[in-house]
């Protein structure tokens, strides 16, 4: 397949999670507890629809229960990727069910684990999703709500795929120039984040966006995953490794470039993980000779040899726990 110019069908294959080989059987269900829902209404968050009742019990998770009124662990917020969901809604939108189930087995409570779906699970719309104001503002308010509701001074974030770059931006705050308008996310809240885990994120763009940035919205140069079309004398060969000629630095998506160059650490501890055979990112995770999943401020990183894109999330719950709880990268 030509990696430079993708047809609509092939773009959906790569960016819409239409690979059904990944499957999660975890039986975790939400939604947000009645206690949290009542708190949200009384504190002005009702219009944010963090519950996502349109996805039944799987659109959200977290909150105090009658038997859980104390937060002992630093709360964890899970942010899913493009066309995925908070918890499993289908065989291809598997959400964070495996991760929530594992954290619960290790002593975490419902009051310490949170997730909300952003947008829907229709992979036919995957090519339309960008880092827009609507989603960024809503996810930022979700973080703020979890902090206020739990009374915790810090939270941790576990993110996957597009959730990595969305998560980084809502922590960093600041202005956003998007197709749905301009907005300001507010001041950075990185001092309130203990651990940030980024799994298979496209921090430097996606090579499959090369050549289609004017066609596919998610690949746009402003707030999408455009990786740049050249690097020094290298042209239209983003995924080649090693590069045939010296690379002097590509010009890629404005939003990604700003996040990567501001030297602001997303949390006290930042970890990145990815797979060498990721079937969505492809090219051994490389964009212009560097791993696109490596958050620039990372304290450490881990590479998986054989996971698919969704498996980097679904099959790594113990590793996620180790990074969040023990502040250590998987061995």
Residue 25 pLDDT: 43
Instruction: Choose between 23 and 136: higher pLDDT.
Output: 136
The domains of the chain, with CATH numbers, are 33-326 (3.40.50.1820)
| Among 97, 139, 98, CA closest to 118 | 139
Q: What is the pLDDT of residue 27?
A: 80
| 8 A C-beta contact, residue 180 and residue 218 | no
- Interval 32-49: pLDDT, tens: 999 999 999 999 999 999
Q: What was the pLDDT predicted at 34?
A: 96
Q: Say whether pLDDT at 109 is over 90.
A: yes
Work out the mean pLDDT of the chain and round it to a whole number. 92
Report whether pLDDT(324) > 90: yes
Mean pLDDT of 250-271: 97
Which token pair is 292?
């696109």
Q: What is the mean pLDDT of residues 311-324?
A: 98
Cα separation, 204 vs 207, in Å, equals 9
pLDDT of residue 66: 83
* Distance (Å) of CA 12 to CA 7, 289, 300, 321: 9, 25, 32, 31
Question: Is the separation of the CB atoms in 250 and 203 below 8 Å?
Answer: no
pLDDT score, position 17: 42
pLDDT of residue 6: 39
DSSP assignments along 132-151, one per residue: -HHHHHHHHHHHHHHHHHHT
Tell me if 271 sits within 8 A of 195, measured CB to CB: yes
pLDDT reported for residue 9 = 38
In this prediction, residue 5 carries a pLDDT of 35
For residues 331 and 241, which has the higher predicted lDDT (pLDDT)? 241
The torsion angles phi and psi of 102, rounded to 5 degrees, stand at: -70, -45
- Judge whether residue 228 has pLDDT over 80: yes
pLDDT for 167-212, tens place per residue? Answer: 999 999 999 999 899 999 999 999 999 999 999 999 999 999 999 9
CA 180 to CA 95: how far, in whole Å? 26
The widest CA-to-CA distance across the chain, in whole angstroms, is: 63
Residue 1 has pLDDT above 50, yes or no: no
> Quick one: pLDDT band at residue 56, thresholds 50, 70, 90?
very high
Can you give the C-alpha Rg of the chain in angstroms? Answer: 19
Residue 278 has pLDDT above 90, yes or no: yes
């Amino acid at each position: 397949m030509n990696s430079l110019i993708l047809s609509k069908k092939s773009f959906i294959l790569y960016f819409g999670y239409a690979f059904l080989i990944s499957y999660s059987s975890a039986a975790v269900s939400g939604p947000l507890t009645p206690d949290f829902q009542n708190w949200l209404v009384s504190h002005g968050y009702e219009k944010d629809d963090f519950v996502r009742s349109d996805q039944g019990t799987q659109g959200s998770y977290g909150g105090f229960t009658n038997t859980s009124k104390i937060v002992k662990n630093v709360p964890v917020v899970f942010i899913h990727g493009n066309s995925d969901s908070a918890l499993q809604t289908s065989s291809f939108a598997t959400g964070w069910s495996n991760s929530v189930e594992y954290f619960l087995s290790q002593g975490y409570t419902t009051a310490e684990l949170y997730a909300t779906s952003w947008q829907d699970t229709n992979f036919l719309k995957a090519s339309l999703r960008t880092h827009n104001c609507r989603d960024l503002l809503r996810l930022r308010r979700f973080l703020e709500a979890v902090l206020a509701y739990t009374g915790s001074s810090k939270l941790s974030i576990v993110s996957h795929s597009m959730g990595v770059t969305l998560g980084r931006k809502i922590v960093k705050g600041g202005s956003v120039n998007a197709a749905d308008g301009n907005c300001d996310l507010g001041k950075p809240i990185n001092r309130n984040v203990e651990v940030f885990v980024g799994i298979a994120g496209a921090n430097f763009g996606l090579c499959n966006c090369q050549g289609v940035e004017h066609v596919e919205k998610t690949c746009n140069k402003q707030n999408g995953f455009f990786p740049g079309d050249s690097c020094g004398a290298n042209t239209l060969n983003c995924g080649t490794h090693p590069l045939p000629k010296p690379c002097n630095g590509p010009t890629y998506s404005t939003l990604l470039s700003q996040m990567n160059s501001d030297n602001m650490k997303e949390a006290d501890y930042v970890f990145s993980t990815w797979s060498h055979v990721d079937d969505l990112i492809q090219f051994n995770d490389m964009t212009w000779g560097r791993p696109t999943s490596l958050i620039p401020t990372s304290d450490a990183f881990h590479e998986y040899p054989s996971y698919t894109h969704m498996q980097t999330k679904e099959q790594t719950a113990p590793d996620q726990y180790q990074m969040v709880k023990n502040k250590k990268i998987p061995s």
